[in-house]
């Protein structure tokens, strides 16, 4: 068997693994990266990017349909639009291809050796990678596990996968060959809601079944209400506080409500989006690492319980977010190159790309209370923001939480059109220890949605200008 020796072996080429490998390469660390599927991982191939492409295409199609129906308040009128779904999927795949081949180029530029094959860990310093037609044993000083996560299946409804059956995972829902007439979505979390909006806008009848009494259980009611209202307005039917008991092709999804009454929801496809779980196996269990449930336990350096074995991203558990994985990857690479680093962010923004979008950055109100932080809270509504009016998007608000004692900002929350783009400002202000006065005293360009950020800070100080 061919053997390679390197300083760093990264297993997994998703946002965590490829960023770690690029940064290590930049710092002159000899690096090998093994990826069994496609560079870019879940995020670029079957997650963040394709879902946002589909969401955007669905939004444009819905706008065109509203214009054709004569309901555009801006007076735009078009003839009845049609959707070439195959072209939509090709467009989405084209974006994925550009990004994933870009990752390959960046890795090459950084001098990283990429092995396209599945790796099996033998011990903390050795893995075997199965390439097409050959097997390579890689010996390393540092092993970085970045194997990501996989969707959780319901025992009563296993994913149909390649058989083309009715039970979809998010991966299937991102590459439809035709639009289902009726889609039942199980789980009103990130994936369930983002894709419910997308399919509804494309013309599918969507019904959501959620076990918890609320959608997006981690967000407070003020943040979720605009999303709930928008789902209802779009005609999405919601069954909250209900569990699913199975599926049959004749009757559809069997649902049980809180009173244990059973009813059936007819469905052509069922998207199961009830969470993701860390992807282990591949000999990783043989290392007997300390685990945190199903996830690999790590410390503030992203180090596991075994010396020189590191883990990052989804395989280390919540929050399951690409930007967290990337930041961890960079952190580990720099430590291996000898830099003193810890992974201790003040805030990891979370964005739900629903319509409207929701952003949470830093502490929630409950977390602040739980930590005993006495906070000032203020919101500024987009209804009083000129830019929001010109976009026809006056719903929602920006909310700030700051310590009462010194006005240091501890949390930003927002719901509204395009608020995902405000998450950079939110993260920066918290990470830099900004006070309300810093944001209030910064000139924000007019007319922008960002002015609502400044106005929320001004309002917390008791002197908002435009409300």
Q: Which residues bind ligand FAD (CB under 6 A)?
A: 11-17, 34-37, 41-43, 47-48, 51, 118-119, 146-149, 170, 191, 279, 282, 313-314, 320-323, 325, 353
| Contacts with ligand NAD, 327-366, as mask; x by CB under 6 A | ------------------------xxx-------------
- Rounded distance, CA 159 to CA 69, Å? 38
Of 266 and 286, nearer to ligand FAD (C-beta) is 286
Inter-residue contact 24 to 112 (CB < 8 Å): yes
335, containing H or E segment: helix 322-336
Point out the catalytic residue in the list 56, 413, 446, 466: 446
Helix (H, G, I), strand (E, B) or coil at 182: strand
Q: 450 touches which of ligand FAD, ligand NAD, none (CB within 5 to 8 A by kind)? A: none
DSSP string, 34-82: EESS-TTHHHHHHSHHHHHHHHHHHHHHHHHHHHHTT--TT--------
Length of the chain, please? 467
275 binds ligand NAD (CB under 6 A): yes
Inter-residue contact 423 to 349 (CB < 8 Å): yes
244 binds ligand NAD (CB under 6 A): yes
User: Which residues in 138-157 contact ligand NAD (CB under 6 A)?
Assistant: 154
Instruction: Out of 57, 64, 121, 321, name the contact with ligand NAD by CB under 6 A.
Output: 321
Of 41 and 180, nearer to ligand FAD (C-beta) is 41
Helix (H, G, I), strand (E, B) or coil at 85: helix
Inter-residue contact 83 to 68 (CB < 8 Å): no
Q: For residue 400, give the DSSP letter.
A: E
Q: Is 301 a catalytic residue?
A: no
Q: 217 touches which of ligand NAD, ligand FAD, none (CB within 5 to 8 A by kind)? A: ligand NAD
Q: 192 touches which of ligand NAD, ligand FAD, none (CB within 5 to 8 A by kind)? A: ligand NAD
Structure tokens at 398: 């920006």
Of 185 and 376, nearer to ligand NAD (C-beta) is 185
State the minimum distance, in angstroms, from the CB of residue 54 to ligand NAD.
12
322, containing H or E segment: helix 322-336
Q: Whole-angstrom distance between the N-terminal and C-terminal Cα of the chain? A: 72
Just list the catalytic residues: 446
Q: Which residues bind ligand NAD (CB under 6 A)?
A: 154, 186-192, 194, 209-212, 217, 243-244, 273-276, 319-321, 351-353
């Amino acid at each position: 068997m061919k053997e390679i020796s390197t300083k760093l072996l990264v297993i997994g080429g998703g946002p965590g693994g490829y960023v770690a490998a690029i940064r290590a390469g930049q710092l002159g660390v000899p690096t090998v990266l093994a990826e069994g599927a496609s560079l870019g991982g879940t995020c670029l191939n079957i997650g963040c990017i394709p879902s946002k492409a589909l969401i955007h295409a669905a939004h444009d199609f819905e706008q065109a349909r509203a214009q054709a129906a004569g309901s555009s308040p801006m007076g735009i009128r078009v003839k009845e639009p049609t959707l070439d779904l195959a072209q939509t999927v090709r467009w989405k795949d084209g974006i994925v291809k550009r990004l994933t081949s870009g990752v390959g180029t960046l890795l090459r530029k950084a001098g990283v050796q990429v092995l396209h094959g599945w790796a099996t860990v033998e011990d903390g310093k050795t893995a075997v990678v199965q390439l097409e037609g050959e097997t390579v044993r890689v010996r390393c000083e540092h092993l970085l596990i970045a194997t990501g996560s996989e969707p959780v299946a319901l025992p009563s409804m296993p994913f149909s996968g390649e058989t083309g059956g009715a039970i979809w995972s998010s991966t299937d829902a991102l590459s439809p060959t035709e639009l289902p007439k009726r889609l039942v979505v199980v789980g009103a979390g990130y994936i369930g809601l983002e894709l419910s909006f997308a399919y509804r806008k494309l013309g599918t009848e969507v019904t959501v079944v959620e076990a918890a009494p609320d959608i997006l259980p981690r967000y407070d009611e003020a943040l979720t209400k605009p999303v709930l209202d928008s789902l209802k307005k779009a005609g999405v039917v919601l069954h909250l506080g209900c569990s699913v008991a199975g599926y049959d092709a004749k009757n559809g999804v069997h649902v049980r409500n809180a009173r244990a009454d059973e009813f059936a929801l007819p469905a052509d496809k069922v998207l199961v989006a009830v969470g993701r779980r860390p992807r282990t196996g591949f000999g990783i269990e043989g290392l007997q690492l300390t685990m945190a449930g199903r996830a690999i336990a790590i410390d503030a350096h992203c180090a596991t319980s075994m010396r020189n074995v590191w883990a990052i991203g989804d395989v280390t558990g919540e929050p399951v977010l690409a930007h967290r994985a990337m930041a961890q990857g960079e952190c580990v690479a720099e430590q291996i190159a000898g830099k003193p680093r810890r992974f201790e962010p003040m805030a990891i923004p979370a964005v739900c790309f629903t319509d409207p979008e929701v952003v949470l950055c830093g502490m929630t109100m409950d977390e602040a209370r739980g930590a005993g932080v006495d906070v000032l809270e203020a919101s500024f509504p987009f209804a009083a923001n000129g830019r929001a009016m010109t976009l026809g998007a006056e719903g929602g608000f920006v909310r700030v939480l700051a310590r009462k004692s010194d006005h240091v900002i501890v949390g930003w929350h927002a719901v509204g059109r395009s608020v995902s783009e405000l998450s950079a400002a939110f993260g920066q202000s918290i990470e830099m220890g900004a006070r309300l006065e810093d944001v209030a005293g910064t000139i924000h360009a007019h007319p922008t949605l960002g002015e609502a950020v400044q106005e929320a800070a001004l309002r917390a100080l008791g002197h908002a200008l435009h409300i």
